Structure 1
Amino acid sequence: MNLAFISNVVYPYITGGAEKRIHEIATRLSQSGHDVTIYGRRFWDGPEETTHEGVTLSAVAPETDLYTDDRRSITEALDFAARLAYPLAKRLHDQNHDLVVASVFPYFPVLSSKLAALGTDVPVVTTWHEVWGDYWDDYLGVLAPFGKFTEHLTVRVPQHPIAVSGITADRLADTGRDRDTIEVVPNGIDVDQIRNAPRPDEGDSFDVLFAGRLIADKNVSTLLDAFDRVADDYDDVTLGVVGDGPEFDHLERQASALDHTDRVSMLGFLDEYEDVLGQMRAADVFASPSTREGFGITYAEAMAADCTVIGVQHPESAASEVIGDAGYLAEPTVDSVADSLSRALAGETPSTEPTKRAEQYDWDSVADQAEKAYQRAIDGRW
């Protein structure tokens, strides 16, 4: 196969989850003998077209700011989509690629990719990490109708959709797509990297850990109160909160007012990914009562690190799908999270070994699933 991936941001120069997924799948497909090109912005030094780990990187737009007022820039997305259309169309009409794989967010490049493919028989596969729906009201406020319209329009573009979880596939189907036409290929982890990550020095680790962006949907406030409630029952038990975000100052104030404030550490953002993995390896319990997870990669990472994992049941979270019976699923309340914490700290073990559950999310397995899905699209069997 000769594949074109579309992403305005390219790993490792930008390190978000969507671009990480493209990198891990693309490099493995390249190692398997496929030709892979990623079209993006030039966040790297050097020529517009270069190679990284066997994958061709082709810059169709220059580096620019991705955010405006803490939100992804609409003008950046429009600019990238406009700059992408002609060079991609030229490559497709010259029969350089068998398939286009477009990361859905920020939407406009999907429309541009489909436009570029007009007049060819090159299929366009899309990767859906989330379906926002009414979440646009919280994210864009008065501009929410614009976001909803753009998502609605993107859903209706002729495409072969891949969702990263069953819940995301279901939410996509709710917008009008035929559920039977939506493939599910999960996000992945590097199991060996996690198992070999260096642990922190003695005294710098925690019994209970949270890691993630500190936003309201993560419900770290609930975790703090739940931890405070059970701390009396477990001598010297500690909680570490890894991450940064708009909720950091509020959570720091909350933590300082807890009865067991001396056992809670707000660690902020850790620059090195392996430092986060090391903290997971050193922890006994990983708890994230998030109510909005299109997949929930930290659950898989924590299971690979042999943590007892606590998530919550919620219709907008894939936690139950990722964790299965290899951890605990609470309700998103202080009482329920505290009960799960108490059981985990008491040493109750889930029915499935977390490390075994995590193996199904290894990138090698995910890349194999993606390769088969891409081939079905090319062969017209999807």
Structure 2
Amino acid sequence: MDVSRKTRTVNIAFVSNVVYPYVKGGAQKRIHEIGRRLAADGHDVTVYGRHYWDGPRVIESAGMTLQAVAPEADLYAGERRSIPEAIDFAARALPSLRSLLPAREHDLVVASVFPYFPVLSTKLATLGLDVPVVTTWHEVWRDYWEEYLGPLAFGGKLAEYATARVPQLPVAVSGVTADRLAGIGPDRDRIRVVPNGLDTEQVRSAPLPNDPAEGYDVLFAGRLIEHKNVDVLLDAFDSVATRHDATLGIVGDGPEADALRRRAEGLDASDRIDFLGFLDEYEDVLGHMRVADIFASPSTREGFGITFAEAMAAGCTVIGATHPHSAADEVIGDAGFLAEPNTGAVAAALDRALGGERPDTDPQERADRYDWSSVATQAERTYERAIDGDW
């Protein structure tokens, strides 16, 4: 936080069905990291969510108050987030929020958008109260619903569209997400951008792999799903690997894992490619980033792209894809290389990086702008503007 800037104390409520660190994920980690820094700066912070922790419904954690407004529940039905869970949380949370928000005299409520229905209950809970509702949009799926839900895609699109049309003060994690949101809801000039963040010191001090030989020249980390285009990365790496005596490590798991392994086995450079699977410890992923020279992810759908920031903080030369649905260019800037998401373009970028070419801006310097302390200060100023009616 910018401790040199004096701020008044404000009373902030976050609404999220899942609460970090009891459930780990990007949206809830953002609330945790921003919230605990705001609390340390003297603000009152309460997080309303499901009862995932042991003990009473109300506890203190990292300077914040955690308040359970619904019992613990399974978040997933197979590979997908549970729609009944989202509806259940919204229904259970509404009466509690309706009584607790005015009783605790919150100045502001920040609702995490996904899985949509809690935004609707949060808005209903604040009717008649002079309490602004800020929403945080990590992604806007639109047509991706067809891939995710198939025949049920209309329901997902409708929920997203309806949520975008709820009166709110919207915050997006990137300009790309803000632009996509403006296509279904609020005017673009009404949407504020506050990026996601990371702990740069945690990245730079993460333990290295026990055996230095476990490191890779090129690393990918992420969910093995279609839009990540790991198949493109495999083919591109295959075309340059021998020339640079390079190795590739794939960290992650997902529905494409088996097909990608079979694809890799058929490549000339198959003996240079390892699939590490899902790593339980976050710091193990960071350790692999620290020993890698290059981090490559030709993904075409990134609402923000936190792995790019993490890899830059670790000192990697980063390669991302240029695509209208990806914020890679926003995050990377001129501190890495961008390529069209096809084999030839990604191979050319790998060739440059493996050949020793470095970006114009130091990646670690670029990553500093996404440190949680900087992000929390941006969030604090945005929330104050919401309270002051200066949106």
Residue 231 (structure 1) aligns with: 241
Query: Which of 330, 352, 371 is 2:380 aligned to?
Result: 371
Structure 1 residue aligned with 2:187: 178
- Specify which of 67, 71, 95 is matched with residue 80 of structure 2: 71
* Aligned counterpart, 2:5: none
CA distance in 1, matches of 2:94, 2:306: 32
Moved >2 Å (runs of 4+): 92-96
C-alpha contact (below 8 Å) 2:321/2:341 kept by paired residues? yes
2:324 alignment counterpart: 315
Corresponding residue for residue 328 of structure 1: 337
CA distance in 2, matches of 1:322, 1:142: 34
How many pairs were matched up?
Answer: 381
Please state how far the C-alpha of 1:177 moved relative to its aligned partner: 1.3
Partner-residue secondary structure (3-state), 2:213: coil
Q: Tell me which residue corresponds to 1:17.
A: 26
Q: CA deviation at 1:91?
A: 1.7
How many Å separate the matches in 1 of 2:46 and 2:222?
30
| 1:94 shift after superposition | 2.3
1:213 counterpart (214, 223, 246): 223
Letter of the 2:179 counterpart:
D
Q: Find the partner of 2:175 among 158, 161, 166.
A: 166
- Quote the Cα distance in structure 1 between the aligned partners of 2:156 and 2:206: 40
* Alignment of 1:294 onto 2:296: no
Asked if residue 281 in structure 1 is aligned to residue 290 in structure 2, the reply is: yes
Which residue matches 2:4? none
1:204 aligns with 2:225: no
Is residue 131 of structure 1 aligned with residue 140 of structure 2?
yes
TM-score by length of 1: 0.99
What secondary structure sits across from 1:267 in the alignment? Answer: strand
1:248 Cα deviation from its structure 2 partner: 0.7
Contact 2:161–2:185 under 8 Å retained in 1 = no
* C-alpha RMSD over aligned residues: 0.8
Residues in 2 aligned to 1:54 and 1:126: alpha-carbon distance in whole angstroms: 22
Q: 1:52 aligns with which of 42, 45, 61?
A: 61
Gaps of 5+ in 1: none
Letter in 1 for 2:236: A
CA–CA distance in 2 between the matches of 1:302 and 1:327?
10
**1:352 pairs with one of 352, 361, 373:** 361
Matching of residues 73-152 of structure 1 within 5 Å: 73-152=82-161
Q: Deviations over 1:8-37 (max 9, x none)?
A: 011111111000101000000000011111
In structure 1, distance between residues paired with 2:99 and 2:128: 11
Task: State the Cα distance separating 1:52 from its structure 2 match.
Answer: 1.1
Letter in 1 for 2:317: T
Question: Shift in Å at residue 255 of structure 1?
Answer: 1.3
SS in 1 for 2:279: coil
1:320-359 Cα shifts (integer Å, max 9, x gaps): 1100011000000000000000100011011111011000
Distance in structure 1 (CA, Å) of the matches to 2:219 and 2:296: 6
| C-alpha distance in structure 1 between counterparts of 2:297 and 2:284, whole Å | 18
Distance 1:131 1:359 in 2: 26
Q: Deviations over 1:277-303 (max 9, x none)?
A: 000000000000000000000000000
Alpha-carbon offset, residue 93 of structure 1: 2.7
Per-residue deviation at 1:258? 1.2
**Residue matched to 2:6:** none
Aligned equivalents of 1:112 and 1:350: distance in 2? 46
Structure-1 separation of matches of 2:41 and 2:137: 25
Unaligned ranges ≥5, structure 2? 1-9
Q: Secondary structure at the match of 2:12?
A: strand
Identity across aligned pairs (percent)? 67
Provide the rounded CA distance (Å) in 2 between the counterparts of 1:176 and 1:36.
29
Q: Is the 8 A contact 2:112 2:136 kept in 1?
A: yes
Q: Provide the secondary structure at the position in 1 that maps to 2:47.
A: strand
SS in structure 2 of the partner of residue 203 of structure 1? helix
| Distance apart, 1:95 and its partner CA | 4.8
Q: Secondary structure at the match of 2:214?
A: coil
In structure 2, the residue matched to 1:243 is 252
